[in-house]
Amino acid sequence: MGDQPTSQEFHLPLAQITQTPLDCSLRYLDFSGDYARLGLEYHGAAPFEDTTSCALAPPAREAAAVTAPWCVTMLAPAARLAQVQQLLTFFAGHGWAVSAVDTLAQRRERTVIRFQLDAELEFAAAKHTCLQLAEKLDVDLVLQPGSSQRVPALAGFDMDSTLIDAEVIDELAKITGIGEQVAAITEAAMRGELDFRQSFRKRMALLRGFSERRLAEIATQLPLKDGADKLLGGLRALGCKTAILSGGFTYFADYLRRERLPVDFIHANQLEFEHGALTGGVIEPIVDGMRKRELLQQMAEEQGLELERVIAVGDGANDIPMLNLGALGIAIHPKPKVRLEAPQSIERFGLDAALYLFGLSDQQIENLI
């Protein structure tokens, strides 16, 4: 019995949270008005004395409305009090006043806390300082305008290494015995070291003669990225249109839409066949980074949407143009260059974690799915 932690909710001013040297597991933090509700699990002495306390509370069904100009969302695999203390100290040091705090997820393996900030800040510089702190704290810190904390009307997705946990062109190359050669070209292109169009032509030429029958077999074996079905299913339930905008192939994107994921539109590269095998040629136009951006903007215009209702999700250098188009540009498990240049990034969780950036709590997400 002595090994069992004490579970307790403390009621205290937000500033007082940073004033204890004791660290422990953090379950939730909610703040509005004068006092915060802080749920902790600890061994030994209580981290705070002379404060009102009670048993841990169940999670709120819905997050509060966002009224501040900026939000920072902390996504932690197993949140600690010390992490929140350092984050609050960071905000105070930059003069970013915290006006409200909501806990969107309070699972053992996932704590998501959103901080609303009344602050004047320069986004690019503030984002980079948040990324640096995130590395130190071993969490994701996502900075976004408060106005973007809503469900989008249109979402554009990269496919390879974003919706599926593979680079299809690399998988084809492995089967033909040139996997390392093609994978090296792909990796250089995704890091932004090679022009995508040039690298695409070079890789396709190496795949000449690959049979269409084998392509069909590979399509059924492509693994989905963690959380892909939950995110796209949630967006469908919320009335958001989704599109695959891929430097990969329509052959596989069509299979995903037909068999695996709720997708509304597809724009990708077409494979050229002759006598049941790939010719190694390329059918123009190639869907590169700028083409993805143009297509996403075109779809928004066709649907009469302002770009504030549009988001994009990707992982590679050729996704950067579309990631910087709309209200949110979310890089999932991104390459280093993409992490620095994308407006938002999530590294420690799957695709479904993007739902928190729309202002949804776990309870709301569960009701959707």
Q: Which two tokens stand for residue 366?
A: 């569960």
Q: Active-site residue 315, yes or no?
A: no
Contacts of 80 (CB under 8 A, 6+ apart): 23, 24, 25, 26
CA 204, distance to chain mean position in Å, is 30
CB 83 within 8 A of CB 45: no
CA atoms 193, 161, 298, 321: torsion sign: negative
Per annotation, catalytic residue among 102, 160, 352, 362: 160
Q: Active-site residue 160, yes or no?
A: yes
Query: 223 preceded by cis ω (within 30°)?
Result: no
Per annotation, catalytic residue among 30, 140, 158, 229: 158
Kindly write down the DSSP assignment for every residue of 52-116, as one continuous string: EEESPPPPPSSPPPP-SSEEEEEEESS-BHHHHHHHHHHHHHTT-EEEEEEEEEE-SS-EEEEEE
Q: What is the CA radius of gyration of the chain?
A: 23
Angle at 263 between CA 308 and CA 318, to 5 degrees: 65
Q: Note the residue count of the chain.
A: 369
Residues belonging to the active site: 158, 160
